[in-house]
Structure 1
Amino acid sequence: MTDTQMDRSGRSFSRRKLLAATGAVGAAAIAGCTENAGNGGNERVVVTGSSTVFPVSDRLAEEFMNQNDGISVTTDSTGTGGGFNNNFCPGDSEINGASRQIKDAEVEECSDSGVEPIEFQIGKDAVTMAVHNDSPIDCMTYDELAEIWREDGAETWSDVNSDWPDEEIVRFGPPSTSGTFDWFSTNVIGDAGSHVTQYEKTENDNELVQGISSTQNAIGYFGYAYYRENQDALKALEIRETEDDECAAPSIDAAQSDAYPMARPLYIYVNKDALQQDAVYDFVEFYIEQSSTDVISDVGYVPVSEEQAQSNLDKLESEAN
């Protein structure tokens, strides 16, 4: 073991002991962040990927920089797939947030560039389907959602349910580069067909919120954190997989207990070679430590268990050495 590895191992062990004894940084201590925040330091860590994971990465980047002079952590919301294809796999970012697991084709693309992605689950999300506040609709099944979101599906609300308005459906959602798009297409639309291509699409979830809240007969989906920040402006639908199930509203508690059917894990992927850089290793270690704390729930997601965080820390140390 090299001196650097011995130092890293000892530092990681000490920090984990401190975490267990005193707890991690509280949510109240963390200030809001802006995209591409940086302090102009000499060492730089680049985080790209999922718009869902972005608020977590951005917030933790700001706190980490507050505690570590000379390190700049930049965060960019590129979408899960966009981050893998355009930034992480080509080696232009060290970390990629993901709202789904990496695909085999992406692993191969990374491998072709000499990048080995290391996976860490950092939380859990409740994918939220929202409508305009004036919508009379309160709950939907997976089949009804698939009818709205599949290619050549329903054109009006009454096409889905005769009790619903005879008005054209206006759709807002993430693009095909998004992990949320992939998750929804696979798990909700499923065998009913392919995702509709003609709809208002953007990686900026705040723009989705604005579009739905200002458009009659609108519907759209995104990560729960964005709904929670704007819950007075639009209505979240309750969801049930089948007609026989109970309707469940999205919430942190419902996602944690799996009572909400559209709950899903969230990840970061780290370039293994980049872990040899102290700035990258230390930021990932900090990120994992915070993933089991109220920082995650304060953003709007479910923290991982302390056991999961510890397992991730052990994995980080093993992969770096």
Structure 2
Amino acid sequence: MKKTSLRIMVSTLAITMMAGVFAGCGNKDGGEVKNNTSNNAAQTQKLSGTVQADGSSTVGPITEAMAEEFVKDYPDVQIPVAISGTGGGFKRFVVGETDVQNASRPIKEEEKKKAAENGVEMTEFKVAYDGITICVSKENTFVDTLTVAELNKMWAPDSTVKTWKDIRPEWPADPIKFYTPGPDSGTFEFFTEAINKKSKAMRPDVNPSEDDNTLVQGVGGDKNAIGFFGFSYYEANKDKLKAVKIDTGTGAVEPSLNTIKDGSYKPLSRPIFVYVNNKSFGKPEVKEFVKFYLENAAEIVPEIGEVALPEAEYKEQLNKIK
């Protein structure tokens, strides 16, 4: 698989993966990811059905990339990947509507309870690390670093910040336009917990969207805009965005694959997940897709712009598959 094609996938939000025939086993060779499963060609052609996935816009591009490669080996399998946000996806998952839930935060206790009430048991798989990235436009020449206290001052529910000058007196008195993921987004919840110390606590005058590409366009097109989203969306749009460093009191740290991986990008580094309905493991197409996901994540995840786990962790999680 070529890196450029994976970058394009970050801009694709809800698609049904189409057919394509692909053979071979092993790791990446000649720029393409190959299936590591032990099925022979005859078995490959017999697998069919649909794997329903929904949830996070951060994890969605990873699942889409996996699906695109998987259907090359299994052309009769369809994998529509919907993007309704982590919270929106869990609403469907806990009532048994989907097989795979993409999640940029762990499942909540109330969601677990709802799942239990509906007889839905699940398995959690950690698939990558992400860093929520605060961005301004490339045309913004003065914002380079923000402290956690300044971020809270800007984004708190009772914030009185209207212009850049309200944050630092040497900055211009131009009005700020705020962009955020929608309230069903796990990214939104994680950010508000980390910065405002309460889930979903946010100033009321933001421009929300569950479509991260809408946020990218809004921030990138306005020198007085600021917003936040998953690291992969920044990586794919560096031509129009500038990442803001965060200073927790020990120096400014820029989000990068290395600082997210080593945990120094605080407080916005986080693990991201997929959850699988245990009943769905009874469907061969779901079981094989999850195996494929874990077997190829170490290679595909970095090409999407996220941080892969050590390969041994993916292999260990294969033991969770029922």
SS of structure 2 residue aligned to 1:125: strand
Asked if 2 retains the 8 angstrom alpha-carbon contact of 1:80 and 1:97, the reply is yes
SS of structure 2 residue aligned to 1:168: coil
Give the TM-score taking structure 1 as reference length. Answer: 0.85
| 1:311 partnered with 2:319 | no
Give the letter for the 2:86 counterpart. T
Q: CA deviation at 1:79?
A: 0.4
Q: What is the aligned partner in structure 2 of residue 107 from structure 1?
A: 112
Q: What is the aligned partner in structure 2 of residue 249 from structure 1?
A: 254
Gaps of 5+ in 1: 1-25
Q: CA deviation at 1:278?
A: 0.8
Give me the whole-angstrom Cα distance separating, in 2, the residues matched to 1:126 and 1:193: 18
Give the TM-score taking structure 2 as reference length. Answer: 0.85
| 1:203 partnered with 2:210 | yes
Give me the whole-angstrom Cα distance separating, in 1, the residues matched to 2:223 and 2:18: 43
Give the letter for the 1:162 counterpart. P
Give me the whole-angstrom Cα distance separating, in 1, the residues matched to 2:198 and 2:80: 39
SS of structure 2 residue aligned to 1:230: coil
Distance change (3 Å), C-alpha of 1:192 and 1:306: closer
Give me the whole-angstrom Cα distance separating, in 1, the residues matched to 2:74 and 2:169: 59
Deviations 1:68-114 (A, max 9, x none): 132111111110000001x2112111001111101001111111221
Q: What is the aligned partner in structure 1 of residue 94 from structure 2?
A: 89
Give the letter for the 2:144 counterpart. D
Q: CA deviation at 1:191?
A: 6.0
Asked if 2 retains the 8 angstrom alpha-carbon contact of 1:130 and 1:212, the reply is yes
Structure with a larger share of its residues in helix: 1
Give me the whole-angstrom Cα distance separating, in 2, the residues matched to 1:230 and 1:281: 34
Q: What is the aligned partner in structure 1 of residue 276 from structure 2?
A: 270
Q: What is the aligned partner in structure 1 of residue 78 from structure 2?
A: 72
Distance change (3 Å), C-alpha of 1:27 and 1:304: farther
SS of structure 2 residue aligned to 1:129: strand
Deviations 1:23-70 (A, max 9, x none): xxx666976655322337950001100000011000110100111132
Distance change (3 Å), C-alpha of 1:193 and 1:273: closer
SS of structure 2 residue aligned to 1:219: strand
| 1:280 partnered with 2:283 | no
Asked if 2 retains the 8 angstrom alpha-carbon contact of 1:127 and 1:263, the reply is yes
The range that moved more, 27-36 or 63-72, is: 27-36
Q: What is the aligned partner in structure 2 of residue 171 from structure 1?
A: 178
One of 216, 224, 235 as aligned partner of 1:217:
224
- Tell me the percent identity: 32
One of 8, 16, 39 as aligned partner of 2:18:
39
Q: CA deviation at 1:306?
A: 1.7
Deviations 1:131-158 (A, max 9, x none): 1222211001111111111112122222
What's the RMSD between the two structures over aligned residues? 2.0
Give me the whole-angstrom Cα distance separating, in 1, the residues matched to 2:3 and 2:210: 28
Q: CA deviation at 1:307?
A: 2.1
Give the letter for the 2:248 counterpart. E
Give me the whole-angstrom Cα distance separating, in 2, the residues matched to 1:251 and 1:122: 18
Give the letter for the 2:72 counterpart. N
Alignment of 1:128-143 (within 5 A): 128-135=133-140, 136-143=142-149
Q: What is the aligned partner in structure 2 of residue 226 from structure 1?
A: 233
Give the letter for the 1:203 counterpart. E
Aligned residues: 288
Gaps of 5+ in 2: 20-46
Give me the whole-angstrom Cα distance separating, in 2, the residues matched to 1:118 and 1:42: 23
Distance change (3 Å), C-alpha of 1:30 and 1:230: closer
Q: CA deviation at 1:259?
A: 1.9
Q: What is the aligned partner in structure 2 of residue 237 from structure 1?
A: 244
